A and B are shown apart, each in its own frame.
Chain A
Amino acid sequence: MVIFFQKLGQETLKGIGKLGRAVVFIAHALTGTPELLRRPGLLLAQMYSVGVLSILLISISGLFVGMVLALQGFNVLSDFGAEESLGVMVAASLVRELGPVVTALLFAGRAGSALTAEIGLMKATEQLSGMEMMAVDPVKRIIAPRLFSGTISMPLLAALFTAIGVLGGYFVGVGLLGVDQGPFWSQMQSQIDFWDDSVNGFIKSLVFGAVVTGIAVFEGYDAIPTAEGVSRATTRSVVYAAFAVLGSDFVLTALMFGD
């Protein structure tokens, strides 16, 4: 029993220590902002690897999620004779929840894990130490651009996911299932509010982007510099990012839509 409490205490202290390191680390990375503004090229290179390379995954996933939503929604709505609300259903689910959340989860798997592995390996091969000795702060030079490019890319990717999802729903609903396209769009527009839905979804995706990339770069930087340490850090990065996204989604939803 005593051992149990001791273990619990150890784990708690370890967790708090890690959290503290993470906060210091992110704050340190943020001090790199002015330097980053002077050299936007650094950001550009990361936007490519974080954002551009995720486009295909996000687009295809968005298309299929939208199409599946339309199929499922049609089955339920046709029971009530409310097929015309299909557009609302697809768009509301995508704009409010699925767009930001699914994009964030895919993003954690695609870009977050890559970031963790990259930074972890840079640490393991002493590249980060090497930079420090060249009087280049690796947190500002390596971490900050990745953190910002992730935070910027994520809302764009989520918007892409949502837009393509709605189009996918349109193809299935209007093209295949024969829902009239007029009410499909008009009901969508009258029910989805720009401020309450679109902007809130955008804010969500911005927060998720920061959370996912923040966790990814921290896990990479905090990894034990061995092959096993990096592989563990990569796994942790994806798992923690998924938890953090779903958890913060609940909090954000409660704040935004909970009236």
Chain B
Amino acid sequence: MQVTRTTEIWVGAFVALGLVALFFVSMQVSNLGDFKSSRGSYVLKAHFGNVGGLKVRAPVSMAGVTLGRVERISFDASRYEALVEMRIDPAFKQLPEDTSASILTAGLLGEQYIGLSAGGSDDFLKDGDEIELTQSAVILEQLISKLMFNKAEEGKTEAKKSTRDAPMATSAVTTSAPRPIQPPDAVPSTSVVPEAAPVPLTPKAESEVQQKNKSKSPKSSHKASAVKRSSAPSSEHHASPRADHASKKKAH
């Protein structure tokens, strides 16, 4: 069977059309275009008390701009914490050494991502460095039970009835702890709750920022830092999901 010129042209056009469509699906529809080159990118590490629903390949962003992706999430058996490795684009080489990382949620019930906020140091993070200042994911059940617990504590002085709720709430904390849900954009409530709670809460269930001094033994820092600093860091991450959209809009 002889193949005519027309057939050849048609088949050529078909294959070209298919490849253009494949290219479109890869670059425009999915996120392959995000990484123009992974060459020169570098890895940062961070320990989190709880990563919540963070997934591999989740974005790592600062001021709403995506700088990289989560590459690996593993369990650090020596510290009983999660070790997250992030691959950062080579364009963002100059992150201060005292940059802090927190696990945030995009929108109501959205995906979780890592938000970085820059510190003031003159030294920059290098490949393989660890981010010392971290804030864990907010776990919805813990938040709710904490809220209930606080309410119960408040009610104790007023009416005897409400004391019965308290043990229930604490038991809820211990049983429901291992399974995290996507928490809401919980920044306002985190900043409120610890202030309203004079009573120290179960340490593991706490949303926390850990100051990890290398001099301290890891275990003791883990226990000690529970409540102390919890209200401090997150207000500046507040706007990031929105800003994320805005910046992407610019990209088009």
Q: Assess A/B contact in the complex (Cβ within 8 A).
A: yes
Residue of A nearest to B1 (CB): A45
- Tell me if B232 counts as interface (CB < 8 A to partner A): no
**Contacts from A to B (Cβ < 8 Å):** 41-42, 44-45, 47-48, 51-52, 55, 84, 91, 95, 153, 155-157, 159-160, 162-164, 166, 180-183, 185-194, 196-198, 201-202
Contact present for B32 and A52 (CB under 8 Å): no
27 A–B pairs (Cβ distance < 8 Å), ordered by A? A41-B2, A48-B7, A48-B11, A51-B11, A51-B14, A52-B11, A52-B13, A52-B14, A95-B25, A155-B18, A159-B22, A159-B24, A159-B25, A162-B21, A162-B25, A163-B29, A181-B252, A182-B252, A185-B28, A187-B245, A189-B29, A189-B33, A190-B31, A191-B111, A194-B31, A198-B29, A202-B22
Contact present for A197 and B30 (CB under 8 Å): yes
Q: Which of A95, A160, A182, A186 has a CB less than 8 Å from the CB of B30?
A: A95
Docked complex Cα distance between A55 and B8 (Å): 15
- Tell me if B196 counts as interface (CB < 8 A to partner A): no
Residues of B within 8 Å of A180, CB to CB, are 249
- Tell me if B251 counts as interface (CB < 8 A to partner A): yes
Residues of B within 8 Å of A202, CB to CB, are 22
Residues of B within 8 Å of A91, CB to CB, are 29-30
Residues of B within 8 Å of A153, CB to CB, are 14, 18
Docked complex Cα distance between A257 and B223 (Å): 38
Residues of A within 8 Å of B18, CB to CB, are 51, 153, 155-157, 159-160
Residue of A nearest to B29 (CB): A91
Contact present for B3 and A44 (CB under 8 Å): yes
Task: Give the contact-size bracket for chain B.
Answer: 35 or more
Contact present for B25 and A163 (CB under 8 Å): yes
Contact present for B11 and A47 (CB under 8 Å): yes
Residues of A within 8 Å of B252, CB to CB, are 181-182, 185-186
Shortest Cβ distance from residue A158 to the other chain B in the assembled complex, whole angstroms: 9
Interface members, chain B 75-122 (any A CB < 8 Å): 111
User: Could you list 12 further interchain pairs (A-B, Cβ under 8 angstroms) beyond the known A41-B3, A44-B3, A198-B25?
Assistant: A48-B11, A52-B13, A84-B245, A155-B22, A156-B15, A156-B19, A163-B24, A185-B252, A189-B28, A189-B31, A192-B29, A202-B22
Contact present for B17 and A160 (CB under 8 Å): yes
Contact present for B30 and A189 (CB under 8 Å): yes
- Tell me if B68 counts as interface (CB < 8 A to partner A): no
Shortest Cβ distance from residue B117 to the other chain A in the assembled complex, whole angstroms: 20
Residues of B within 8 Å of A188, CB to CB, are 29
Shortest Cβ distance from residue A238 to the other chain B in the assembled complex, whole angstroms: 23
Interface members, chain B 1-59 (any A CB < 8 Å): 1-3, 7-8, 10-11, 13-15, 17-22, 24-26, 28-34, 57, 59
